[in-house]
Amino acid sequence: MGGLGRFGPKPHVLESAHAPRVPSPPARPPLSPPVTRFRVRVPASAANLGPGFDSVALALDLVNELEVEVTGAGLELTVEGEGEAALPRDASNLIMRAALRLFRELGAKPPGLRLRSINRIPLGSGLGSSAAAIVAGLLTADAVVGARIARDDLLKLASELEGHLDNPAASIYGGLVLVGEGPLVYQVPIGDLQVAVVVPKLDLPTLQMRQALPRNVPLADAVFNLGRIAMLVEALRRADYELLSRAMEDRLHQPYRTPSIPGYEAARAAAVEAGAAGVALSGAGPGVIAFAPDGLPSIAEAIAQAFRSHGLSARRFVLSPALEGAQVHLPD
């Protein structure tokens, strides 16, 4: 793998007593002939889900797409949809920064590229838009070079660029993922689920929300979250909404983050009143994610109305888990 050798050995993937290990795809030879036109699809992700701080994430079927064409020289980048008025159209774009990083790791000279970025994941929403951009860039460079890099190596590089494992892992692997340093990754088979996600119009950079967290937490709070994480995973695996109503409680990050989100407590109460079983911040917020067996449009509207009553407009989504992670699609 050349420059990727520094990534070290492949991570150990935890086994489940209830389901077989979900394997990585088999190793494949370099692409031949070279890929010059293709499309990359990367799903959104909701991390933490209450107690699973930096260790649990769920891929969702809100998908960014990147159309790629290899050209003679230079970069031509267009952005449509989310962020089209704000995102750069040069090499400082996060997609290109990730692609250039992998070209360097592989010792490959970047070709000319024509990119069309079709963004559906809102920026700064807690839905993993930066992780999706990073994964799209890495897969672009991988496909252009034909390296066929293993998913665990892509994850290690993506987490270095993103700063944490959870969102990149969900975008790469799909479904519900558990992550830990190493990296360790396990994809948990889950029940039939849908979620409501509501994103208030509020500028809360992830870095700011991380700075709100304490450096140390009480032991009792850590023990509380450990128990809730175990219940959260089992509740999602079985689509057990009664268990989920208790499993999404958290003491490690949400008590320090939600005061920065006007109307969060009212939104949470409104969601429960409308029938939500579990409610939490999506990632660092400000997005809110709610699980319920039915009535999700009404739950989303109740959350949005609570934010509106506190002076914040809000966008509503009803989404399903994206059971497949990021994909590269070749033209027919």
Q: pLDDT digit string (tens) for 281-293? A: 999 999 999 999 9
SS (H, E, C) the chain: CHHHHHHCCCCCCCCCCCCCCCCCCCCCCCCCCCCCEEEEEEEEEEEECCCEEEEEEEEEEEEEEEEEEEECCCEEEEEEECCCCCCCCCCCCHHHHHHHHHHHHHCCCCCEEEEEEEECCCCCCCCCHHHHHHHHHHHHHHHHHCCCCCHHHHHHHHHHHHCCCHHHHHHHHCCEEEEECCCEEEEECCCCCCEEEEEECCCCCHHHHHHCCCCCCCHHHHHHHHHHHHHHHHHHHHCCHHHHHHHCCCCCCHHHHHHHCCCHHHHHHHHHHCCCCEEEECCCCCCEEEECCCCHHHHHHHHHHHHHCCCCCEEEEEECECCCCCEEECCC
Nearest alpha-carbon partner for 320 in 298, 299, 275, 289: 289
Which burial class, exposed, middle or buried, applies to 8 when counting CB atoms under 10 A from its CB (0-12, 13-18, 19+)? exposed
Nearest alpha-carbon partner for 47 in 185, 190, 170, 135: 170
Q: pLDDT digit string (tens) for 193-220? A: 999 999 999 987 766 777 788 899 999 9
Provide long-range contacts, Cβ within 8 A and 24+ apart, for 275-279. 275/299, 276/196, 277/241, 277/242, 277/244, 277/245, 278/49, 278/50, 278/235, 278/241, 278/244, 278/245, 278/247, 278/248, 279/248
**pLDDT at position 207, please?**
66
Q: Is the pLDDT of residue 122 over 60?
A: yes
Average of per-residue pLDDT across 142-155: 92
CB 24 within 8 A of CB 52: no
Q: How far is residue 8's CA from residue 106's CA, in Å, rounded to a whole number?
A: 15
Q: How far is residue 325's CA from residue 135's CA, in Å, rounded to a whole number?
A: 10
- 83, 87, 91, 96 alpha-carbon torsion, rounded to 10°: -20
Q: Is the pLDDT of residue 79 over 80?
A: yes
Residue type, 260: S
Q: Is the pLDDT of residue 11 over 60?
A: no
What average pLDDT does the structure give for the chain? 89
Average of per-residue pLDDT across 141-163: 93
Average of per-residue pLDDT across 69-91: 95
Domains and CATH numbers, the chain: 2-23+32-188+322-329 (3.30.230.10), 195-319 (3.30.70.890)
Give Cα 33 to chain centroid, integer Å.
Answer: 32
Nearest alpha-carbon partner for 60 in 46, 39, 41, 50: 46
**pLDDT at position 12, please?**
33
Q: Is the pLDDT of residue 96 over 60?
A: yes
Q: Is the pLDDT of residue 250 over 80?
A: yes
